[in-house]
Amino acid sequence: MLTIGKLAEAAGVKVPTIRYYEQIGLLPPPERSAGNQRLYGHRAEERLAFIRHARDLGFPLEAIRDLLSLSDRPDQSCEAADAIARAQLSAVRARIGRLRALEAELERMIGQCAHGTIADCRVIEVLGDHAHCAHEHRKEP
């Protein structure tokens, strides 16, 4: 059995993260020692590793909740898990598209700089008025 500190260390997360995942139901409530200290078994360590890996891949918490629920029923079809992963891939591709537009806009803005004074600075001008941008790159809602 691992204490919360040892589990955090093993999983590469912070203690408050583990408490948060417990609070929102991604991790089940842990066993407690006689002194009321949280104690975690191998299953909690595996589940936390799953959550961390899913977060590293950008999955939102609700998708992780759904994936965990699916993983708790290993005999069912993986169609729902595939759909969740496809949705995440679509979201990643959309973010990549926005980042490419942002990169192009920054390159264009910097490339138009005449290296004069701030009064004539294209970077300051473009940042001050979105209408000077060639691409739509507003932050997603």
pLDDT confidence of residue 121:
79
- How many Cα atoms sit within 13 Å of 93 on the Cβ side? 6
- List, in order of start, the domains of the chain with CATH numbers: 1-59 (1.10.1660.10)
Please say if the pLDDT value at position 141 is more than 70.
Answer: no
Counting runs of H as helices and runs of E as strands, what totals does the chain give?
Answer: 6, 2
* 136 vs 83: which has the higher pLDDT: 83
pLDDT confidence of residue 138:
61
Say if residues 64 and 55 touch (Cβ distance below 8 Å): yes
Please say if the pLDDT value at position 83 is more than 90.
Answer: yes
**43-47, 89-93, 100-104, 125-129: which range is least confident on average?**
125-129
Say if residues 27 and 18 touch (Cβ distance below 8 Å): yes
Please say if the pLDDT value at position 111 is more than 90.
Answer: no
Task: Name the one residue in this structure whose structure tokens are 């408490």.
Answer: 19
- Strand, helix or coil for residue 118: helix
pLDDT confidence of residue 133:
75
pLDDT confidence of residue 9:
94
In DSSP notation, 8-75 reads HHHHT--HHHHHHHHHTTSSPPPEE-TT--EEB-HHHHHHHHHHHHHHHTT--HHHHHHHHHHHT-TT
pLDDT in tens, 30-60: 999 888 899 999 999 999 999 999 999 999 9
Q: With left for phi above 0 and alpha for psi between -120 and 50, is residue 40 left, alpha or beta?
A: beta
* 72 vs 136: which has the higher pLDDT: 72
Global pTM value: 0.76
Supply 29's token pair.
């409530």
* 130 vs 92: which has the higher pLDDT: 92
